[in-house]
């Protein structure tokens, strides 16, 4: 029997206490860098002891506008006094405003709001399957959605069915077999290799409803495909009458120096775009699926929904978050600062005695690749710990890659400070 009357809130006063409480009372499904955020603004973060850090992760690109952007926070405060939730059983004025604004902003005809990026992915998969049955004429229960090797689309069953990562999949089966990155029984459809997709479509294109991909693979380590890859995929989609779904949850909202990453490919426009993370500036969970009406129309009342999706608080916040990106020219800053960051990191790489084997990325979605054979066995995790001690926060993806994706409000001076810390940390690995 639960006894809520016996529960007490214990004030956290030290980072050590916070880490101990989380370890004791929370599920161990994350392995965080040992720092405890207390407050943040822009690129700056402070822990409980008031030590200052520069955030070079941006909550996995959720705070592109910077932490606690005052315009976005104010929009939330203003809406909190009026209305936070209507459910979709009734209309509300803010969602109506957001729907019109967002479709004009991204140049799509229709939007379906959800809450998290994972929910946006699931919605996109459901949309693709239903479109496949109702519009393409795929026999019922046979629709296939193809993904690519080393993808990351979230942690739901649909997403992990697409995944090839054992950490995401182990002991969670059985999976949804028609959501797959498999080329055949054992091999996977390689990212950036158009021939792999072409061969799969030749074999079973009549049952393929959609291809889902990241324009740049994030969790895989900021993997940038060949320049013509996205346009080639879209050409195949048109040839085999299937949808192209771009998961822009991490790459979108200005991160790569374009509003959406697919815009780097001239003439390309996906059938479906998935958004999350920075669409709210990190103030609360908001996500969305964008498509034109000929695709979105397969959803009818009762076929899909969310109590909180499109709530007025989220809608007000998302409008403000998108206005900040546009009005403060953060997409342009991402391009300029991203070029500068890569230039500085490349100079470090040249002096690293091969410890940094590669610097890659687009805009402010950047990665450095560590050659662990030249670090006396130390990994990217060890480098991130060293950087943390010098006031720069990042997180490895895999054992040898560090993703560097600061808020888009970052300045040259802040980059210089961070680069100096990274260089000093590299020296410690020699």
Does position 292 have pLDDT exceeding 90, yes or no? yes
Residue 138: pLDDT band with limits 50, 70, 90: very high
Q: What is the DSSP letter of 99?
A: H
Under a CB-based contact definition with an 8 Å cutoff, are residues 287 and 281 in contact? no
Mean pLDDT of 149-160: 97
Mean pLDDT of 30-58: 98
Does position 178 have pLDDT exceeding 90, yes or no? yes
Under a CB-based contact definition with an 8 Å cutoff, are residues 72 and 320 in contact? yes
Residue 85: pLDDT band with limits 50, 70, 90: very high
How far apart, in Å, are the Cα atoms of 191 and each of 9, 181, 215, 275?
48, 10, 10, 21
Count of positions (residues) in the chain: 430
pLDDT tens-digit series, residues 233-286: 999 999 999 999 999 999 999 999 999 999 999 999 999 999 999 999 999 999
Pick the CATH number of 70-327 from 3.40.50.300, 3.40.640.10, 3.50.30.30, 3.20.20.120: 3.40.640.10
- Residue 2 has what pLDDT? 67
Distance of alpha carbon 325 from the chain centroid: 16
User: Strands 44-47 and 52-55: what pairing?
Assistant: antiparallel
Tokens 């040839």 belong to which residue? 239
Under a CB-based contact definition with an 8 Å cutoff, are residues 262 and 248 in contact? yes
Under a CB-based contact definition with an 8 Å cutoff, are residues 191 and 220 in contact? yes
- Residue 1 has what pLDDT? 61
Task: Tell whether domain 4-65+329-429 is in CATH 3.90.1150.10.
Answer: yes
- Intervals of CATH 3.40.640.10 along the chain: 70-327
Helix residue spans in 192-351 (DSSP H): 194-204, 229-239, 293-296, 312-327, 330-350
Q: Which of 146, 150, 177, 145 is nearest to 161 (CA)?
A: 177
Does position 171 have pLDDT exceeding 80, yes or no? yes
Annotated active-site residue 157? The verdict is no
Annotated active-site residue 94? The verdict is no
CB atoms within 10 A of CB 278: 31
The residue from 56, 95, 98, 152 that is catalytic is 152
Mean pLDDT of 208-220: 98
The mean pLDDT of the chain is 97
The CA distance from 223 to 192, in Å, is 9
The residue from 55, 247, 271, 382 that is catalytic is 247
The CA distance from 244 to 283, in Å, is 30
- Residue 430 has what pLDDT? 80
Q: Which residues pair with 217 in a beta bridge?
A: 223
Comparing 3-12, 127-136, 197-206, 305-314, which segment has the lowest mean pLDDT?
Answer: 3-12
How far apart, in Å, are the Cα atoms of 266 and each of 158, 190, 229, 261, 302?
30, 23, 11, 11, 37
Does position 401 have pLDDT exceeding 90, yes or no? yes
pLDDT tens-digit series, residues 70-83: 999 999 999 999 99
- Intervals of CATH 3.90.1150.10 along the chain: 4-65+329-429
Backbone angles phi, psi at 342, to 5 degrees: -65, -40
Distance of alpha carbon 220 from the chain centroid: 12
The CA distance from 244 to 256, in Å, is 20
Under a CB-based contact definition with an 8 Å cutoff, are residues 243 and 147 in contact? no
Structure tokens at 95: 């969602």
- Residue 372 has what pLDDT? 86
pLDDT tens-digit series, residues 302-346: 999 999 999 999 999 999 999 999 999 999 999 999 999 999 999
Under a CB-based contact definition with an 8 Å cutoff, are residues 327 and 65 in contact? no
Under a CB-based contact definition with an 8 Å cutoff, are residues 298 and 130 in contact? yes
The residue from 136, 183, 258, 277 that is catalytic is 277
User: Strands 356-362 and 287-291: what pairing?
Assistant: unpaired
């Amino acid at each position: 029997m639960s006894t809520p009357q016996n529960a007490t809130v214990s004030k956290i006063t030290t980072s050590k206490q916070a880490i101990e409480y989380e370890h004791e009372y929370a599920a161990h499904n994350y392995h965080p860098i040992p720092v405890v955020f207390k407050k943040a603004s822009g690129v700056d973060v402070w822990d409980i002891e008031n030590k200052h850090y520069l955030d070079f992760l941006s909550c996995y690109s959720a705070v592109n506008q910077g932490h606690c952007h005052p315009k976005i926070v104010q929009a939330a405060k203003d809406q909190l006094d009026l209305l936070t939730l209507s459910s979709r059983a009734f209309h509300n004025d803010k969602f109506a405003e957001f729907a019109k604004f967002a479709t004009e902003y991204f140049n799509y005809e229709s939007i379906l709001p959800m809450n998290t990026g994972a929910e946006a992915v699931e919605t996109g998969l459901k949309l693709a399957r239903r479109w496949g049955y109702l519009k393409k004429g795929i026999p019922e229960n046979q629709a296939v959605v193809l993904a690519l090797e080393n993808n990351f689309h979230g942690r739901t069953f649909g997403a992990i069915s697409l995944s090839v990562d054992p950490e995401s999949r182990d002991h969670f089966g059985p999976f949804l077999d028609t959501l797959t990155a498999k080329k055949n029984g054992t091999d996977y459809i390689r990212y950036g290799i158009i021939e792999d997709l072409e061969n799969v479509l030749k074999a079973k294109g009549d049952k393929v409803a959609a291809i889902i991909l990241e324009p740049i693979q994030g969790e895989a380590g900021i993997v940038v495909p060949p320049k013509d890859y996205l346009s080639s995929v879209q050409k195949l989609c048109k040839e085999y009458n299937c949808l192209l779904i771009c998961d822009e949850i991490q790459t979108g909202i200005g991160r790569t120096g374009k509003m959406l990453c697919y815009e780097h490919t001239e003439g390309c426009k996906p059938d479906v775009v998935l958004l999350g993370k920075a669409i709210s500036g990190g103030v609360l969970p908001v996500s969305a699926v964008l498509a034109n009406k000929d695709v979105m129309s397969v959803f009818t009342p009762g076929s899909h929904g969310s109590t909180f999706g499109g709530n007025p608080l989220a809608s007000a916040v998302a409008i403000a978050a998108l206005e900040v990106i546009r009005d403060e020219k953060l997409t342009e800053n991402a391009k300029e600062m991203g070029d500068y960051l890569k230039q500085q990191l490349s100079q470090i790489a040249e002096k690293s005695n091969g410890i940094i084997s590669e610097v890659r990325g687009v805009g402010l979605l950047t990665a450095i690749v560590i050659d662990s054979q030249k670090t006396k066995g130390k990994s990217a995790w060890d480098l991130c710990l060293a950087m943390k001690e010098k006031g720069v926060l990042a997180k490895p993806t895999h054992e040898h890659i560090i993703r560097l994706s600061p808020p888009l409000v970052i300045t040259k001076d802040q980059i210089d400070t961070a680069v100096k810390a990274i260089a000093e940390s590299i020296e410690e690995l020699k």
